[in-house]
Amino acid sequence: MLLALASGGLLALCFPRYNIEALVWLWAVPLMVVLWWFPVKREGRRFWRGCGLGYLAGVTFFAITFSWIREVTVLGAMILPFYLGLFFALWGGIAATVGRPRDAILGSLPASPEGNEEGEASKPSLTRASLHSLRCSFLNASVWVCLEWLRGWLLTGFGWNGLGVAFHENPNLMQIADVVGVTGLAFLPLFVGSVLLITVRRFQLEIRHQQLRPHLDFGIALAAVVMVFLYGLNHTMRPQAEGTDLKCVIVQLAVPQEVKWNPEHAATILNEFDRYTSTFVEATDPDLVIWPESSLPTSLFEDPVNEHYLNGLLAKGDFALMLGANDFDVVNGKYYNGAALMAGEFDSPDLQIYHKIHLVPFGEFMPLRKQLPFLDNWLNHLIPGDFDRGESSEPLRFPGKPIRISPLICFEDTVGRLARRSIRPEAQMLVNMTNDGWFGTSPAAEQHLANARFRCVELRRPMARACNTGVTCLLDERGRTILVHRDPDEGVFARGVLSGVLRVPGEPVMSFYARFGDLFTAILAVCSVLSLVLYHRKSS
């Protein structure tokens, strides 16, 4: 149990705010040691013990890394780790059985009529131990990737902080995400970590039996890391592509949550947006001004004050304004969390609206509200009504420029399968508008950015992030930070404006991930299922 707890704690140190990237290669070692080599009283209990220890590691990891959820709901911060830990539990059970390396094979023991502990005779071979190591490591890493994908999809999904995200500050290792996605990138550290641990065990057994063998598996693992690194280096060393330089102004008001929806402060919020925007429009003559999620205190079209207010602001310069705003569809009676892009005048033909597609459960809607009335009675004071889901992922047209904008609201920039739906083979940028103010100055904002970086890499599109409380920044198509809003005293959570230039490539590539999505993960899923079926048939 202590080893399982250690693995969960080590994994948590890989992510913000700790960012000890090196641990991502080794975090699973304590857990795998007990899953693979600690004895069990009965062989039939090996799977369930693996599930239990994996679950303990998972709950530990999620309780630490997502502790910031308590800023909104203490109950949610308690429940979420116990749910997400189930994915670790299933991996632990499989790793302890199907993915467990056998000492008799690793040590290349002499053949005997009685056979080994698994009931099969050992056959000495120069490569048998290496191939066995590769099979086990490949299976464990493949199952892990599949479970991470499932975690990011099941029940609307919460795929934050997969193993690949630990490389968010390593521009070379993260570039392969344009092929395998950030979920597929999780394969590398777990595969390499498994091979390293098995290599240590092999040396122990070979020295004990004085039968040293070639370590082909270690060479392949090392080659995989080198190849991924060189692939990334090839991308990061390329000169910046030709394209359009957009002068951007992003306003971060850092409005506290207890103030944001208070009608008494609505006029003050609008005045502050106007003051900051007007000052920088006059000073920098920007092409695009961006405000964060739910910038307007009232619904975009429902309140007539908004039209007069926005027309007065747009008249101060020749720029496009993109802002987060709730949108009420009177005809259909639907309410959306949305984004609006406009230029010239509020009611001009250039006005375009995007409705958020990926809603946050217990934040923007209550699951099973109609099916479970008691849940509605219990939480109605927190979630009085549900937002409706948008249906279109069509990118917006930049007024007057041959550029498309793909809006991503709130956590949508952490969902690769959603973001890729809006990608087109033309000049394009991503714009994330979010309000992480719910979580104060916790690591939530930094974790959000760490996960969002991979959309730039996967899709090879630059991104502008407009946040209410941070981290407001500009990212290039390689996921690197071009410019970030930061105050010397208050850091990324300070009120202010980010003014900078974002280059939008004129002829961007359509990456493998943009075209085919999580195909790599699907291939690993097929391999995993086949291995499980073969193991079951062999056992029976």
Which domains does the chain carry? 1-100 (no CATH), 104-110+121-241+518-540 (no CATH), 243-357+393-507 (3.60.110.10)
Total residue count of the chain as it appears in this document: 540
Q: Is the pLDDT of residue 375 over 90?
A: no
- The closest of 58, 360, 11 to 165, measured between CA atoms, is 11
pLDDT for 113 equals 45
- Cα–Cα distance between 185 and 232 in angstroms, integer? 12
Q: What's the pLDDT band for 470 if we cut at 50, 70, 90?
A: confident
Q: Is the pLDDT of residue 134 over 50?
A: yes
H/E/C letters for each residue in 46-76? HHHHHHHHHHHHHHHHHHHHCHHHHHCCHHH
Please answer whether residues 13 and 7 qualify as being in contact, where contact means their C-beta atoms are separated by less than 8 angstroms: no
Please answer whether residues 451 and 414 qualify as being in contact, where contact means their C-beta atoms are separated by less than 8 angstroms: yes
Q: Kindly give the interhelix angle for 187-209 and 177-185, rounded to the nearest 10 degrees.
A: 60
Query: In the numeric block, which tokens belong to residue 51?
Result: 């599930």
**pLDDT digits over 387-443, tens only?**
999 999 999 999 999 999 999 999 999 999 999 999 999 999 999 999 988 898 999
- The closest of 405, 432, 522, 503 to 142, measured between CA atoms, is 522
Alpha helices in 157-261 (DSSP H): 177-185, 187-209, 216-236, 257-260
- Cα–Cα distance between 489 and 510 in angstroms, integer? 41
Query: How does DSSP classify residue 345?
Result: B
- Cα–Cα distance between 285 and 300 in angstroms, integer? 25
- Cα–Cα distance between 165 and 110 in angstroms, integer? 44
Please answer whether residues 117 and 131 qualify as being in contact, where contact means their C-beta atoms are separated by less than 8 angstroms: no
- Cα–Cα distance between 480 and 263 in angstroms, integer? 39
Give the SS3 label for residue 383.
coil
Task: Record the pTM.
Answer: 0.94
pLDDT for 370 equals 75
pLDDT for 96 equals 97
Pairing of strands 404-409, 396-397: antiparallel
- Cα–Cα distance between 104 and 318 in angstroms, integer? 74
Give strand pairing partners of 219.
Answer: none
Q: Kindly give the interhelix angle for 128-151 and 187-209, rounded to the nearest 10 degrees.
A: 150
Show the CA angle centred on residue 181, arms to residues 421 and 140, nearest 5°.
Answer: 135
pLDDT for 111 equals 47
Q: Is the pLDDT of residue 261 over 60?
A: yes
Which residue did the predictor score with more confidence, 416 or 378?
A: 416
Please answer whether residues 443 and 16 qualify as being in contact, where contact means their C-beta atoms are separated by less than 8 angstroms: yes
Q: What's the pLDDT band for 260 if we cut at 50, 70, 90?
A: confident
Mean pLDDT of 77-87: 95
- Cα–Cα distance between 523 and 248 in angstroms, integer? 41
For residue 284, give the H/E element and its range: helix 266-284
Mean pLDDT of 260-272: 92
Neighbours of 440 (CB within 10 A): 15
Q: Is the pLDDT of residue 148 over 60?
A: yes
pLDDT for 333 equals 87
Please answer whether residues 393 and 424 qualify as being in contact, where contact means their C-beta atoms are separated by less than 8 angstroms: no
Across all residues in the chain, what is the average pLDDT?
Answer: 93
**pLDDT digits over 152-186, tens only?**
999 889 999 999 999 999 999 999 999 999 999 99
**pLDDT digits over 100-130, tens only?**
999 989 986 544 444 445 444 445 578 999 9
Q: What's the pLDDT band for 382 if we cut at 50, 70, 90?
A: low
Go through 51-65 and write b for each residue having 16 or more CB atoms within 10 A of its CB, e for each that does not: bbbbbbbbbbbbbbb
**pLDDT digits over 42-74, tens only?**
888 999 999 999 999 999 999 999 999 998 888
Q: In what order do the strands lie in the sheet with 334-343?
A: 352-355, 334-343, 320-329, 288-290, 243-252, 496-505
How buried is 210 (Cβ within 10 angstroms: 0-12 exposed, 13-18 middle, 19+ buried)? exposed
Alpha helices in 380-465 (DSSP H): 416-419, 444-459
- Cα–Cα distance between 6 and 30 in angstroms, integer? 7
- Cα–Cα distance between 433 and 428 in angstroms, integer? 16
Which residue did the predictor score with more confidence, 220 or 374?
A: 220
Q: Which residues contact 272 (CB under 8 A, 6 or more apart)?
A: 253
**pLDDT digits over 181-212, tens only?**
999 999 999 999 999 999 999 999 999 888 88
**pLDDT digits over 497-522, tens only?**
999 999 999 999 999 999 999 999 99
The residue type found at 137 is: S
- Cα–Cα distance between 179 and 162 in angstroms, integer? 16
Give the SS3 label for residue 252.
strand
- The closest of 425, 431, 430 to 506, measured between CA atoms, is 425
Query: How does DSSP classify residue 323?
Result: E
